[in-house]
């Protein structure tokens, strides 16, 4: 009998040990469901899971960007839903990996029941956050190519780099329709003023990001493209009916929802003909209709009800003026939750010890609101469940495994901003360059003697030199071609004229970031210089490097080319062996194509004709879909008297063509949350507190297997089955042992 009893007793002991150990086993975590996690959470834990916070910047004694002790402690004490990082947190790839690893470990040490969502605004083009990375040409440039496969490639490129850093959410793409040319905040962040183009490219970008392991966030619902006010500085209002936006602004969002969108960001914009509830602001005392972020009619009724979106809704930054100047932080958050929002983006600033204390006070006040019934617990539970289900689908439900940090850093440094990625970025960007006017000046001959390139900012000098050097290296430009880069910003006519001299060709880079830029001194200077160069027989090409609407500003130019992003470069790609700083490919690519290749893209937006005061009219000069190739017949030297025939018979925009922007706001300054200030280096002062699919590291770099995120195990997963199988064998033995022992005692 002892032969049976002793082994059975041992097995029983093993079973008891496994049961005691089970809470820390991966298999046990595998058996947890979002529902069980939700039921185990306190009210405060649920509300913290609904917060997306930012802690600013902190530099340690070794000069690395990291978490301040206060921020680390705050993350450990609260299971936040996510953390947003900005450019100041992502200067180098190595520091970014370390920072995110520290965030995830801090959250796990505090007993968080799910890992953090880590996000940034890496839209591409002018809106990027990675100091070292691959920006891509930007949305409006992709709209000019109008090829969903290019949008998908770009999304995969950006998403792969984010994933290798540990960033699992991208606040992109913007699927706003830029149907207001004077829009002060969207502009080139939009694919087009066509709903169908925004829809197809938005789906492509979303799929590309998702294929690389990054969750895309569609923004800004229900649309920020037809406003003349920036919600960072004011509270915009759009006077459209539900039926009007359903046929236009909502089209891209619906297409993305149909294609499996997982997250959508709301806009702080009022739609008084849709959301009619009048609210008295506790801050200003004035009555106003609720913006979309706080509107149950828009979030729950339209987005979830009519459009069938079952994913996670995140607000735009709650610190933006549209919210902060009209609502208190706690009150606005209560309204947003009641409206149906799941995640609150930066409800308060958590920079420095005072900011962290403000966040603590906010959590306490919000918890009190939930406990006294001011916020529906059913809505809180529904929101948290959606968040946990998203995290489960991304392998983020359960503790964080921080092993292999140095290998992850090595992989990120080899992957982010690699030569291979920049080569792909260049090929994509070549497909986006658009030519709308050419009297035969382009392409410039390879033997062009002297070229003067006029730039409005010093950061573009290397962009111009890189283009010329690339042409030379590829044998497309004679060695006798001389290049002179002239910064004309703030310069007087005589100075620039004397530096141009008798150049054979002049390329003037024009940067217009809002409608008032069409009437700037720089625009007037270019116009005057065109006459001077023509006077001695030279050729003059204008490169529109940001908003495309200045294509109508220079009717006497020999050629007008567009590239849709004015980002420069801080170092030349030539001679760089390791990670290099992110740069804009658009300007060098467009200058390159003034000599080689042939443009194939077409306008993604209608270009209005300007009146004598250089203000928009309601007449279209160059319609969406118009674009020239070098094989086309030369165009007249003056602007056409009638609009060229459109190649894209998409619906005309419904917004009026007005051109009064918000003063002092430039498009590239826009961000969906508020950038926090840099901290003092050294950290002594009080400071703010897997293999990627589709990407291969540089040759000779091993790809660590842990880069592929493991999905959160379901009860049917192998680890769960092993534990169940062991229990199935050991439990009967334990029962038999108990019976034998009982009988022997009798």
Q: What is the pLDDT of residues 535-581, one digit of tens each?
A: 999 999 999 999 999 999 999 999 999 999 999 998 888 877 767 88
First to last CA, the chain: 15
Q: What is the pLDDT of residue 635?
A: 66
Q: What is the pLDDT of residue 197?
A: 98
Smallest Cα–Cα separation from 233: which of 324, 349, 340? Answer: 324
How far apart CA 606 and CA 652 sit, in angstroms, is: 9
Contact 122, 128 (CB under 8 A): yes
Length of the chain: 746
Query: Model confidence at 127, in pLDDT bands (50, 70, 90)?
Result: very high
The chain-wide mean pLDDT, for the chain, equals 84
Q: Comparing 324 with 577, which gets the higher pLDDT?
A: 324
Average pLDDT over residues 233-258: 92
* Tokens 């006294």, located at residue: 372
Q: Is the pLDDT assigned to residue 200 strictly greater than 50?
A: yes
From residue 458, alpha-carbon distances to 118, 455, 485, 510, 513 in Å are 34, 7, 9, 13, 17
pLDDT per residue as tens digits for the range 42-91: 999 999 999 999 998 888 888 888 899 999 999 999 989 999 999 999 99
Contact 643, 621 (CB under 8 A): yes
**Catalytic position from the list 95, 176, 193, 316:** 316
Burial of 718 (0-12, 13-18, 19+ CB in 10 A): exposed
Burial of 278 (0-12, 13-18, 19+ CB in 10 A): exposed
Q: What is the pLDDT of residue 57?
A: 80
How far apart CA 601 and CA 584 sit, in angstroms, is: 18
- Give the whole-number percent of the chain exceeding pLDDT 90: 68
Q: What is the pLDDT of residue 633?
A: 72
How far apart CA 199 and CA 212 sit, in angstroms, is: 20
For the question of residue 316 being annotated catalytic, the response is: yes
Q: Which residues share a beta bridge with 174?
A: 219
- CA 299, chain centre distance (Å): 21
Q: Comparing 650 with 522, which gets the higher pLDDT?
A: 522
Burial of 706 (0-12, 13-18, 19+ CB in 10 A): middle
Average pLDDT over residues 392-416: 94
Which of 23-32, 209-218, 593-602, 607-616 shows the lowest mean pLDDT across its residues? 23-32
Contact 556, 526 (CB under 8 A): no
**Catalytic position from the list 224, 232, 421, 422:** 232
Residue 670 is classified by DSSP as -
Smallest Cα–Cα separation from 72: which of 63, 87, 60? Answer: 60
For the question of residue 268 being annotated catalytic, the response is: no
In the chain, what are the helix, strand and coil shares in percent, each to the nearest 5?
A: 40, 10, 45
CATH number of 117-407: 3.20.20.300
pLDDT per residue as tens digits for the range 460-487: 999 999 999 999 999 999 888 888 999 9
Residue 440 is classified by DSSP as S
Q: Comparing 732 with 590, which gets the higher pLDDT?
A: 590
How far apart CA 298 and CA 191 sit, in angstroms, is: 24
Give the angle 208-213-219 at the CA atoms, nearest 5°. Answer: 60
Q: Comparing 351 with 390, which gets the higher pLDDT?
A: 390
208-235 exposure pattern, b = at least 16 Cβ within 10 A, e = fewer: bbbbbbbbbbbbbbbbbbbbbbbbbbbb
Tell me which of 3.40.50.1700, 2.60.40.4070, 3.30.56.10, 1.10.20.10 is the CATH number of domain 433-660.
3.40.50.1700
From residue 366, alpha-carbon distances to 259, 386, 482 in Å are 35, 20, 65
Average pLDDT over residues 244-253: 96
Query: Model confidence at 3, in pLDDT bands (50, 70, 90)?
Result: low
Which of 90-99, 713-722, 723-732 shows the lowest mean pLDDT across its residues? 713-722
Q: Which residues share a beta bridge with 279?
A: 288
């Amino acid at each position: 009998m002892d032969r049976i009893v002793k082994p059975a007793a041992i097995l029983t002991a093993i079973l008891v040990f496994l049961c005691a150990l089970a809470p820390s086993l991966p298999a046990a975590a595998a058996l947890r469901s979002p529902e069980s996690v939700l039921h185990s959470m306190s009210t405060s834990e649920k509300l913290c899971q609904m917060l997306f916070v930012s802690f600013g910047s902190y530099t340690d004694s070794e000069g690395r960007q990291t978490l301040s002790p206060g921020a680390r402690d705050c993350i450990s004490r609260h299971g936040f839903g996510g953390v947003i990082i900005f450019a100041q947190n992502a200067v180098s790839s190595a520091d970014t990996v370390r920072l995110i690893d520290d965030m995830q470990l801090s959250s796990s040490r505090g007993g968080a029941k799910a890992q953090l969502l880590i996000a940034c605004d890496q839209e591409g083009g002018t809106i990027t956050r990675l100091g070292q990375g691959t920006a891509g040409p930007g949305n409006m440039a992709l709209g000019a190519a109008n090829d969903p496969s290019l949008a998908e490639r770009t999304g995969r490129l950006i998403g792969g780099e984010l994933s290798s850093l540990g960033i699992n959410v991208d606040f992109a793409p913007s699927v706003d329709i830029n149907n207001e040319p004077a829009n002060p905040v969207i502009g080139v962040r939009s694919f087009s003023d066509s709903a169908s183009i925004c829809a197809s490219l938005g789906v492509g970008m979303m799929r590309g990001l998702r294929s690389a392991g990054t969750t895309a966030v569609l923004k800004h619902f229900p649309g920020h493209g037809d406003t003349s006010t920036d919600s960072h500085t004011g509270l915009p209002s759009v006077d459209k009916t539900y039926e009007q936006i359903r046929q236009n602004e909502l089209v891209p969002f619906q297409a993305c929802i149909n294609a499996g969108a997982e997250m959508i960001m709301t806009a702080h914009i009022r739609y008084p003909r849709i959301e009619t509830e009048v609210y008295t602001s506790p801050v200003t005392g004035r009555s106003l209709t609720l913006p979309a972020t706080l509107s149950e009619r828009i979030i729950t009724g339209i987005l979830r009800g009519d459009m069938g979106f079952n994913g996670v809704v995140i607000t735009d930054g709650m610190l933006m003026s549209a919210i902060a100047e009209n609502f208190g932080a706690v009150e606005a958050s209560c309204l947003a939750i009641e409206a149906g929002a799941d995640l609150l983006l930066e409800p308060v600033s958590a920079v420095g010890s005072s900011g962290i204390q403000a966040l603590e006070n906010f959590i306490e006040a919000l918890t009190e609101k939930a406990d006294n019934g001011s916020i529906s617990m059913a809505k809180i539970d529904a929101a948290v469940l959606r968040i946990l289900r998203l995290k489960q689908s991304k392998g983020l439900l359960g503790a964080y495994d921080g092993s292999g940090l140095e290998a992850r850093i090595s992989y990120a440094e080899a992957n982010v901003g690699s030569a291979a990625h920049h080569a792909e970025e260049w090929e994509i960007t070549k497909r986006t360059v658009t030519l709308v006017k050419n009297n035969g000046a382009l392409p410039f001959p390879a033997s062009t003697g002297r070229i003067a390139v006029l730039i409005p900012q010093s950061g573009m000098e290397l962009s111009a030199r890189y283009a010329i050097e690339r042409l030379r290296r590829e044998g497309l430009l004679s060695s006798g071609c001389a290049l002179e880069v002239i910064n004309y910003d703030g310069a007087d006519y005589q100075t620039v004229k004397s530096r141009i001299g008798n150049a054979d060709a002049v390329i003037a880079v024009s940067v217009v970031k809002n409608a008032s830029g069409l009437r700037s001194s720089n625009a007037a200077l270019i116009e005057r210089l065109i006459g001077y160069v023509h006077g001695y027989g030279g050729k003059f090409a204008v490169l529109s490097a940001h908003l495309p609407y200045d294509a109508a500003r220079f009717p006497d130019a020999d050629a007008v080319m567009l590239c849709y992003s004015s980002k420069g470069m801080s170092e030349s790609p030539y001679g760089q062996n390791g990670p290099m700083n992110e740069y804009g490919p658009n300007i060098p690519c467009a200058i390159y194509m003034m000599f080689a290749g042939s443009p194939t893209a077409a306008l993604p937006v209608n270009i209005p004709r300007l009146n004598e005061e250089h203000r928009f009219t309601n007449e279209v000069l160059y319609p969406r879909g118009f674009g020239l190739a070098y094989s086309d017949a030369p165009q007249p030297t003056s602007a056409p008297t009638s609009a060229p025939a459109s190649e894209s018979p998409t619906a005309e925009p419904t917004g009026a063509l007005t051109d009064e922007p918000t003063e002092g706001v430039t498009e590239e300054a826009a961000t969906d949350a508020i950038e926090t200030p840099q901290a003092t280096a050294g950290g002594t002062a009080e400071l703010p507190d897997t293999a990627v699919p589709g990407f291969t590291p540089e040759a000779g770099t091993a790809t660590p297997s842990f880069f592929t995120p493991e999905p959160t195990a379901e009860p049917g997963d192998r680890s769960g089955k092993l534990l169940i199988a062991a229990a199935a064998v050991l439990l009967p033995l334990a029962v038999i042992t108990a019976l034998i022992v009982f009988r022997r005692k009798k």
